[in-house]
Amino acid sequence: MCGICGVWNYKNCDPVNRDLQKSMTDRMIHRGPDDRVLYFDDAAGIGLGFRRLAIIDLSPAARQPMSNEDGSVWLVFNGEIYNFHTLRPKLEKRGHSFHSNSEIEVIIHNYEERGSNILSDLNGMFGLAIWDAPKRRLVMARDRLGKKPLYYYRDSKRLIFLSELKAILADPFVPREINETALAEYLALGYVSAQQTVFKGINKVLPGHSLIFEGERIEVRRYWDWLPAFQVKAVRSEGEYIEELRALLKTIVAER
């Protein structure tokens, strides 16, 4: 399952409180009992945390937060990418080297090539955050259908993101004001729609979307839309649709 979190003091670039970062990861230990790793860039005022549930590559080489070779790009990632085996050979042909069998390295090297455009390449379920140190940019994204959670809080001085809502409450300075609209939705429908949460000021990254933070500037991008997939391009026979469905099912089961 895994759990990710991070704090960026983007306004004044103050060093992130170590105890706060540890407390946030402690509250997600059930998501990742195998390991906890913290990374801090005090010059930029950012800290990243990760709780690990080791599944694909069990070695220390797959620990997160993970960086590229020169430490300019860092990634924390929760989820699984089903097509990383097809993406990796393309990156190796372009000169990228790998030190683990994890999909995490694939995402990092692909980001080096394509920036935030990599999201359309990823077939899987995920919540992720990429810290691009030279550009002082934080990219957050959630998978196409929102299978993996990703929450964030932003005020005039800092940004906090996490895999679980309760972990953000480790910070006593985050407001606890109830979002009455979201509460009413939950009681009536059993869920909270869109980007809202039960707390005012704490939001969800929407499925199929990315958020790009560059200090006080925020850009919201929708990288995937379900509607084009359901547009009929040509009428075919029932048998052709059956064969296509069978082939798709075989492919997705094999990938998983």
Q: Is the residue at 47 inside a domain?
A: yes
DSSP state of 233: -
- Mark whether 5 is an active-site residue: no
Please determine, for residue 161, whether its predicted confidence score (pLDDT) is greater than 90.
yes
Q: Give the chain's mean pLDDT.
A: 93
Q: Is the residue at 131 inside a domain?
A: yes
Residue 32 belongs to domain with CATH number? 3.60.20.10
pLDDT in tens, 85-121: 899 999 999 999 898 888 999 999 999 999 989 999 9
CA distance 18 to 39: 10
| Candidate list 2, 16, 119, 139, residue with the active-site label | 2
The band of 5, judged by pLDDT with boundaries at 50, 70 and 90, is very high
CA-wise closest residue to 3 among 23, 18, 191: 23
Q: Is the residue at 232 inside a domain?
A: no
Q: Is the residue at 235 inside a domain?
A: no
Model pLDDT, residue 110 = 95
Q: Is the residue at 83 inside a domain?
A: yes
Where do we find the tokens 């090297």? 109
Mean pLDDT of 68-94: 94
CA distance 127 to 64: 14
CA distance 72 to 10: 17
Helices 84-93 & 103-114 angle (0-180, nearest 10): 50
117 is in which domain, residue-wise? Answer: 3-227
Q: Is the residue at 116 inside a domain?
A: yes
The band of 236, judged by pLDDT with boundaries at 50, 70 and 90, is confident
Count how many Cα atoms sit within 13 Å of the Cα of residue 81 in the half-sphere of its side chain: 25
pLDDT in tens, 137-160: 999 999 999 999 999 999 999 999
Please determine, for residue 229, whether its predicted confidence score (pLDDT) is greater than 80.
no
Residue 79 contacts residue 126 (beta carbons within 8 Å) = yes
Query: Who has greater pLDDT, 216 or 29?
Result: 29
Give the count of domains, the chain.
Answer: 1
Q: Is the residue at 243 inside a domain?
A: no
Q: Is the residue at 121 inside a domain?
A: yes
